[in-house]
Each structure stands twice: as structure tokens, then as C-alpha cells.
Amino acid sequence: MKLFVDTGSIKEIETIAALGILDGVTTNPSLLAKEPGDFRQNLKRICDIVKGPVSGEVTATDFAGMLQQGRDIAKIDPHMVVKTPLTRDGIRACKQLSGEGIRVNVTLCFTPAQALLAAKAGASYVSPFVGRLDDISTNGMDVVREIVQIFDNYEFPTEILVASCRHPIHVVEAARLGADIATCPPAVIEALFNHPLTNIGLEKFLKDWEKAQAIKA
């Protein structure tokens, strides 16, 4: 399973990329708005760091505006993926842009029915938001499970990009279900590393080693 980081922060992306386990980046207008500077230059810099798929989202809500912005975003770098929202115009734009060879990530997906529309429109990725579903007492992972089943039934090539991951269990569940990608904020990626027994075990190994060296000296 691929692991993406969900942030617009170049500093955070550099830190996570240095770990050697990063496959791509997702951004959205809320995340990019937090980063100073020109968003196109920032996205270009992110592509140079990650050398993998980087999602940049359109902010237009009409078909023509989405096409214009989508083509503009795609020109930033060959790694760019255009994010369109799961609206009627967003699905139309996905179909058109995908037909032009531009990779599209259909975002703000909350149901298997919506994911099916994204797949039919030729999306390269569809992003179910598991955390936001959990927030409203609906199991986000149930939606992912159904999408996996539907895509397997018809061998849709659209990759399932589990978004709005809030904790490591979301990542593990996404992997168990066979989702293609999990995108997580940097804090969740950091949390994947952590277990108290790892720290306790390492501390003991090093202490035992030092003790033995002192005796030999």
C-alpha cells in the first residue's frame, strides 16, 4: 500500500520524504492556504521533493472553470494530479481531463455510489474521507470496504485513496481492506512509528551493551 502525506507544508514534506517511505502528497485549498508564497511554485517544489503523485485541487465550482484550472495545475509538473470535487461539474471535469491524459483525484467522496461515479468518469484516484464520516457517527471504513468490493467486481483501475485519516488504525484498516493508498497528516505518519516497547527495548539493549563494554575495559 502506498503512503501519502496530506499537507501543504514544504518543511513537513521534506522531513517525511527523508524517511524514505513516502509515495506521494495530497493537498487541498485549506492546507495550501496555510503555506506562504505562490501556490504554483509551492506545488512545483513539492513535486521536486517527492517525485511522486502530488494532488492540487481546483477551486472553481463550474465545469469550464474546473477545466481551465485543472489544465493549469497539470502544467506545473508531470507529477501533478488534479483534484476535482464529487459534484456533477466535478465528475464532468474528471471525464474531460482524464480524456486529455490528465490524472484526476476525485475528492470529497462519502459513499460507494459516489466512488462508482468517479471510476466511471475515468478518475485515476478517488478519495473517501474516513475521518469526516467517523465524525458524524458513520463508519468511514465500511464505505472503503464497499468501494474495494465494487472496484474489484468490475476491475476498475481507479485507485482508492483513503483520506481524512486521523490515526494509525485508519491506516492499518485501509491496508487490511486492500485500499491502494492512505494519505495522512504528518502527525499520523509519525505515530505509525511509535510503540513504548520499542523505546523500552532499545534503551535496555544499549544499557546492556554499555555495561558489557565497561566490564571489558
Q: Which residues bind ligand G3P (CB under 6 A)?
A: 6, 26, 28, 129, 131-132, 163-164, 183
Nearer to ligand G3P among residue 145 and residue 166 (C-beta): 166
Nearer to ligand G3P among residue 163 and residue 189 (C-beta): 163
51 catalytic? Reply is: no
Distance of CA 153 to the CA centre of its chain: 24
Closest distance of CB 26 from ligand G3P, Å:
5
Closest distance of CB 217 from ligand G3P, Å:
53
Torsion-angle region of residue 155: left (phi > 0), alpha (psi -120 to 50) or beta? left
Coil, strand or helix: which one is 8? coil
Catalytic residue among 11, 44, 83, 204: 83
Closest distance of CB 170 from ligand G3P, Å:
10
* CA-based nearest residue to 3, from 154, 195, 190, 147: 190
Instruction: Give one DSSP letter per residue of 139-192, joined into a string.
Output: -HHHHHHHHHHHHHHHT---EEEEBS--SHHHHHHHHHHT-SEEEE-HHHHHHH
Positions marked catalytic: 83
